[in-house]
Structure 1
Amino acid sequence: MAVVQCLVVVAVCGALGSCSRYPVNPPPCFPPKYSVQPTTARPGETITVSAPDATCNPSYGMDARIEVSVTDAAGTEVFKKTGPMNNDGGFAFTFKVPAGLKPGRAGVTAVPYGLDWCDDTGKNNRLSRQKTGDGIARTSCVIPVVPLTIRP
């Protein structure tokens, strides 16, 4: 019976061109929560920023990127790079703490690169529709920041 049901699904999806968990009006979908490991490090040590796949359907695309940045205690950005992210928002990005970063509390952010993902609905908006100075148009957005303690 399970084989027959599977064949029916394959046949229907093939006839329609594709099947999705949310074919019409998908629920809001925000990027998955990310973590930073370790949370304490010295300049030159390796940090991994990672997130699991989202439990919704963000559809970031096959060439999706994550942008990771680090700000020092004064709020000055001291590191910013992009890395690969999968279609469901999962990623693992590794970097070395920048040399010369002063001891104290720093902050790490990780956001989908090139997407206006942050609005009141969680809808994944493609930036190509809303280009501005830096190419990002966000509304009602508080970007999560994970603390990173820099040791001497």
Structure 2
Amino acid sequence: MNRYTLKSLLTQLVVKKLLPAPLLGLTSAFTVAVVRSPEFENGIEVMDRNGKVVGVSQKAGEKAVKETALSRAVLFGTTFSLPAVLTYFVERAKLAKTPRALALMRMFMITSVLAGMLPVSLSMFPQCGEIKRADLEPEIQSSTEETELFYNRGI
């Protein structure tokens, strides 16, 4: 047991405090990419301004999944890291007198940050995304004269 303990304070800081937040953000983004992988392979419907489906585009699907993955990474990464930073300042200021009070404050901060970050994360990218016709597959480019097409990003 003693062999694998973290002896250095810097190592403890990095492993216990700094590393988990980016890892959670990356894991969240990876989960979105895995769950929505059929959109990478099969594509999603692309519509013109009137809502008429022009075709199914893999490039629009890739863009939609990337946007959703980024918004999830921001949501969970921030929700995990900001309360840890705030808890550090609460501990340093000695605002919480008991471990139970500190745990309650930490739960309140996590809930508050999650509640605040959820609308921010969902509004980072519009629900109905735009993509230029030049960025799409040749068969879709030839089927319409519209310069910008639209797709449903999903949540």
Relative to the length of structure 1, the TM-score reads 0.22
Structure with more of its chain in strand, by fraction: 1
Structure with more of its chain in helix, by fraction: 2
Q: Which has the larger radius of gyration?
A: 2
Relative to the length of structure 2, the TM-score reads 0.21
